[in-house]
Amino acid sequence: MYIHKSARWRFILVIILLASLYPVTVCAESKARARDLGVPFDGTPGPNNAITDVKGVEVGHTTLISGEGKLVVGKGPVRTGVTAILPRGKNSLDPVFGAWFTLNGNGEMTGTTWLEDSGILDGPVMITNTHSVGVVRDAVIAWRIKKAPPDSEGYAWSLPIVAETADSDLNDMNGFHVKPEDAWHALDSAHSGPVEEGSVGGGTGMVCNEFKGGIGTSSRIVNEKAGDYTVGVLVQCNYGWRSQLRIAGVPVGREITEQTVRNDDIGSIIIVIATDAPLIPTQLKRLARRASLGLGRDGSFSGDGSGDIFIAFSSANPGVAGAKGVHDLKMLANEQLNPLFLATVQATEEAVVNAMVAAETMTGINGKTVIALPHDRLREVLKKYNRLVK
């Protein structure tokens, strides 16, 4: 097709103009977060209000959504995925100090036996659905061997951290739809900056406080005498009893009562805590325990059917896991941990609410629908209790 020279230039100018407008369009269409709706929270968040505010941390997702209607095991409907959290990013093989804590053990997090003994987290933290833990674990081993081949004696091993929550309310969980390539994609696509929230990655098919749940994140900046530190939290939330849900201290669950799905506190939550503060494993276990208090602020009492499992790591002290010699390391004094404890509680509380705010109503197996937390109703309830900030 022939285009006149002057017309071609006009066409090029239009394309350039549209390209310049594109970032504005993307920004305008970004999902609302809890603070955008006027939910009040304590503490000062980092620039992205996300776990990636801890320098070096990257997060990636693979989201699997297909099919509708009646459940046919092995075919769908599919509402699931994988989330990867990499403490120093996907291009680093340098381990970090870590620790874990189980508030209620009706769930799974692989690799924790060695984490408990060694205090070293070597590799990513992965989250998926309950029946995909095995395939994700094996996929991480293959991914790591590819990045770090066996040594000259042929020795290579890995004990990956893989956690789960059950998405069988909406997903064909017994259909085993998560494949190795899905875990690899989550790892390879991990990035810094803003983190996708709601019905994405491992959180795709999850339910939280009988609203649609999923992935949520938040962070806090801590100004300590010994330095300025960041605490970041990411949750995969699939727990909770609507009647107990509290947001900013308000009994939201008792105000928004329609379309409940479980009528009990079951389902599980995985919480990942990152910090750049120089903490050793015993201190990180103390930090992990504090996530319980943030969860309690949102109304959880950690019911018998819920697997509430938390992991914490510090990106400080690079090279600490070297195989030889004496390692010099830094450790924040125990007397200076209180601000980090408080930051963990605050960021956990907000991360859960961010997950529910970002999630959208979803229909899954057998036409079952789980509604999203209605933004307008949430604002009305907060206003009723004089807690709406704008």
Active-site residue identified among 182, 300, 308, 315? 308
Active-site residue identified among 132, 168, 219, 268? 268
SS3 167: coil
How far, rounded to the nearest angstrom, does the alpha carbon of residue 52 sit from its chain's CA centroid?
Answer: 10
Nearest CA to 167 among 259, 79, 67, 74? 79
Known active-site residue 268: yes
Active-site residue identified among 218, 306, 314, 315? 306
Known active-site residue 302: no
Known active-site residue 308: yes
Structure-token pair, residue 374: 């209605």
How does DSSP assign 108-149, residue by residue? Answer: -BTTHHHHHHH-EE-S-EEEEEGGGHHHHHHHHHHHHHHHS-
SS3 281: helix
Question: What b-and-e string marks burial along 105-129, b requiring 16 or more CB atoms within 10 Å of the CB?
Answer: ebbbbbbbeebeeebbbbbbbbbbb
How does DSSP assign 187-248, residue by residue? Answer: HHT-BSSS---BS-GGGTT-EETTEE-EEEEEEEEEEETTEEEEEEEEEEE----GGG--BT
DSSP element (H, E) containing 102: strand 96-105
Catalytic residues: 268, 306, 308
